[in-house]
Amino acid sequence: MQFSILKDQSTFENLAPVWNQVLSHSITDVPFLRLEYLQSWWETLGGGEWDSGELYIGVGRDSQNAVTGIAPFFRPVENGLESRLMFIGSVEISDYLDLIVTDENLFDFTEAMFQSLADEDRSVWERMDLYNLPAWSPSVEIITEAAQKLGWTSTREIYQPCPMIALSGSWEDYLAGIKKKHRHELRRKLRRAESYSEPVRFHIVTKADDTEEVIEAYLKLLSFDTRKQDFLTSAMRSNIGSLIKIAQDNEYLLLVFLYVGDTPAAAYMHFDYGNRIWVYNSGINPKYYDLSPGWVLLGKTIQWGIENGREALDFMRGDEVYKYRFGGVDRHVLRLTIKR
């Protein structure tokens, strides 16, 4: 296998014809690894999470020069610190990251990648710091073994839980699968919404909606949470707006609002990708806390997912209590570190 490192800004554009095609057959096909997502992330370096960085994208090709794998790395520029390689998308706003390669090509691709990386000077990279690597990905063991062959050390740690709900059968089947206390609580909150003093409406954003108005309404709901106000910098707001647009353009946006009358009471931004719902971020208007709009909106979303044949709802990273009340079962992402 031929392996090369691409560092030029044009790399995304040059790989555009094949990137998502390779991803669609990859060991970890998630929205966070799509070309348009990572391009958007790179434009603001994660909404300002990083001050600066350099692309370091590894590409594997077969004997016919067809792309067989992509290692979407970058080098954060951190003065005075040990040089490291990280996944583009690290760390905070991309819940799952991995190599982009099929299971069939994973071993050869990883071997070629490490042979190439071994030739680089230590000033280029001293360690690989791979966050949000799914614990169930076969790349975890293959990367570890390839590093050990070179005499390098590896460490792995559970980084965060990622609760998930399997969706199958009917709405009643789902309710029967969660704890009795939480089942009653969810039913009660949904009934209360139906008899609320003002009309309560569940709305899924479509291309018929005014995108700029939708983004502004969503960001306003996010900003009601004082914990998110520092997070919502100008760069982050730009990143979120761009992400909504590209997900909508590529038909995997599931942005849902709960309206009380004509006023947005809550919104959840999800990805509808790979026959599963990926719960990304939410905002609630405190004026309507008595309605429990977050619970109502999430319950309505789960109902929609079941009725439309989605196989799972992935809460992604974080151990917030509500995820388990809705029946979330833990999986985990890892931090895998390779030290030369």
pLDDT in tens, 162-180: 999 999 999 999 999 999 9
Same domain? For 132 and 168 the reply is no
Q: Is residue 321 part of a domain?
A: no
Same domain? For 33 and 137 the reply is yes
C-alpha distances out from residue 103 to 100, 106, 108, 110, Å: 10, 5, 10, 11
**Which residues have CB under 8 Å from 187's CB, separation 6+?**
175
Same domain? For 124 and 226 the reply is no
Same domain? For 178 and 293 the reply is yes
Number of domains observed in the structure of the chain:
2
Phi-psi region for residue 316, left (φ > 0), alpha (ψ -120 to 50) or beta? left
Task: Check if the beta carbon of residue 146 is closer than 8 Å to that of residue 114.
Answer: yes
Please report which confidence band the pLDDT of residue 228 belongs to, taking 50, 70 and 90 as the band edges. confident
Q: Is residue 320 part of a domain?
A: no
Rounded mean pLDDT, 297-309:
98
Token pair listed for 22: 């390779």
Q: How far apart are CA 329 and CA 338, in angstroms?
A: 29
Please report which confidence band the pLDDT of residue 257 belongs to, taking 50, 70 and 90 as the band edges. very high
Please report which confidence band the pLDDT of residue 285 belongs to, taking 50, 70 and 90 as the band edges. very high
Encode 123-170 in three state secondary structure: CCCCEEEEEEEECCCCHHHHHHHHHHHCCCEEEEEEEEECCEEECCCC
pLDDT in tens, 178-197: 999 999 999 999 999 999 99
* CATH code, 217: 3.40.630.30
Q: How far apart are CA 200 and CA 218, in angstroms?
A: 17
Residue carrying structure tokens 């050390």: 153
Same domain? For 242 and 119 the reply is no
Rounded mean pLDDT, 99-122:
96
Same domain? For 247 and 148 the reply is no
> Residue 278 pairs with which residues in a beta bridge?
271, 314
Q: Side chain identity at 125, as an amino acid letter?
A: W
Q: How far apart are CA 193 and CA 240, in angstroms?
A: 29
What pLDDT shows up at residue 227?
85
Q: Give yes or no for a cis peptide into 124 (omega within 30° of 0).
A: no
Same domain? For 156 and 221 the reply is no
Per cent of the chain over pLDDT 90 is 95
Rounded mean pLDDT, 241-256:
97
3-state helix, strand, coil split of the chain in percent (to 5) is: 40, 30, 35
Same domain? For 130 and 174 the reply is no
**Does residue 153 carry a pLDDT above 90?**
yes
Q: Is residue 322 part of a domain?
A: no
Same domain? For 135 and 147 the reply is yes
pLDDT in tens, 28-57: 999 999 999 999 999 999 999 999 999 999
Task: Check if the beta carbon of residue 157 is closer than 8 Å to that of residue 335.
Answer: yes
Element (H, E) at 103: helix 103-118
Same domain? For 24 and 170 the reply is no
**Does residue 226 carry a pLDDT above 90?**
no
Q: How far apart are CA 253 and CA 246, in angstroms?
A: 8
Mean pLDDT of the chain: 96
